[in-house]
Amino acid sequence: MNKLFKNNSEVNKFSPVKLSSHHLLAIEGMQKSEIQKLLDRADFFANLDKHADTKYLSGYVVLNVFFENSTRTRVSFELAARRLGAEVINISLINSSIKKGESLLDTASTLNAMKPDLLIVRHPHSGAPLLFAEYLSCSIINAGDGRHEHPTQALLDALTIKRRIGYLEGLKISICGDISNSRVARSNIHLLTTMGAEVRCVAPSTLMPSKLEKLGIKCFNDMKEGIKDADVVMLLRLQNERMSGTENPSEREYFKFFGLDETKLSMASPNAVIMHPGPMNRGVEIASALADDTNRSLIKTQVEMGVAVRMSIIEALNHSKNKT
């Protein structure tokens, strides 16, 4: 048996994770122990040489189905699946069948008829992957649905933080920016609060969703106050494509009050690190120099961890399906 695939539960890092579901649709509702195991396994993959033999999912078919534009997430999933030896087919459905009038479920059942093992779905509508999971027999990974969740992004963010700081519990983490339109924010809030971090959200009141504090976090409209003593400052992209023009007066006004610069960052803990799920708007969400400061910015590490995290998830879903 491949040395990376030992069925020895005591040696956690050397065995695939078994989850309670064979889908990954949302972080909300996931157990702390499951998240912990996925992160440990991903950490193990991250430490491997990229040429290490991890190809034990040969014959496993992955469809990367994207109803919305994406570069980094799609490529990251593809690399992860390929490094596990799976076959990957990329399908961009941004225009094609939707324009022809085919319903989402017809598209789904067509894809299902090709008997893939795993469907990785990104869709502009919140909840769409749940609909796929309800009607399809294969595993589903939510690669971002509307404003709902982006679970793999939250897992890779958590791994990035853990590898830099060593732990999550008790950390003060400020998520700043367009919370309203952000699936990344929602997944991170659920994951980080589950892991025991102290989460704060900072946004202009027009981009702060209703009753957000009910998710177990603190909300701030003043960025300096919101990132005070923070260990991690996580920035979000302004999603202008999801706005009506009434949320934000201008980019320069946004940068003045909510863009991360040296002055605002000085309020955070002296060793605070900076994260951004990308793509970032330099000079809007973050001062360009800070984004490039390799001592503080973990932005590139986030991208790197994406592959490892997605390997651990694809492997786990395969393992969970086989064993249930």
Contact positions vs another protein (CB under 8 A): 28, 103-105, 123-128, 130-131, 145-149, 183, 186, 209-212, 214-215, 241-244
Rank residues 144 and 259 by Cβ distance to another protein and give the closer one.
Answer: 144
- Least distance (Å) from another protein to the CB of residue 106? 9
- Least distance (Å) from another protein to the CB of residue 295? 34
Rank residues 68 and 117 by Cβ distance to another protein and give the closer one.
Answer: 68
Rank residues 145 and 157 by Cβ distance to another protein and give the closer one.
Answer: 145
- Least distance (Å) from another protein to the CB of residue 113? 17
CA 68/CA 128 separation, integer angstroms: 12
Q: Is 178 helix (H, G, I), strand (E, B) or coil?
A: coil
**139-167: buried (b, 16+ CB within 10 Å) or exposed (e) per residue?**
bbbbbbbbbbbbbbbbbbbbbbbbbeeee
CA 260/CA 255 separation, integer angstroms: 7
Rank residues 76 and 180 by Cβ distance to another protein and give the closer one.
Answer: 180
Rank residues 80 and 133 by Cβ distance to another protein and give the closer one.
Answer: 133
CA 233/CA 200 separation, integer angstroms: 10
- Least distance (Å) from another protein to the CB of residue 138? 18
**Distance in Å from the first CA to the final CA of the chain:** 21
Q: DSSP assignment of 104-137, as one string?
A: HHHHHHHHHHT--SEEEEEESSTTHHHHHHHH-S
- Least distance (Å) from another protein to the CB of residue 294? 33
- Least distance (Å) from another protein to the CB of residue 145? 7
Burial class (CB in 10 A: 0-12, 13-18, 19+), 295: exposed
Q: Which residue type sits at 219?
A: C
Rank residues 47 and 110 by Cβ distance to another protein and give the closer one.
Answer: 110
* Those residues with Cβ within 8 angstroms of residue 81's Cβ, 6 or more apart along the chain or in another chain: 57, 60, 62, 64, 87, 88, 118, 310, 314
Rank residues 142 and 318 by Cβ distance to another protein and give the closer one.
Answer: 142
Q: Is 154 helix (H, G, I), strand (E, B) or coil?
A: helix
CA 90/CA 304 separation, integer angstroms: 20
- Least distance (Å) from another protein to the CB of residue 199? 14
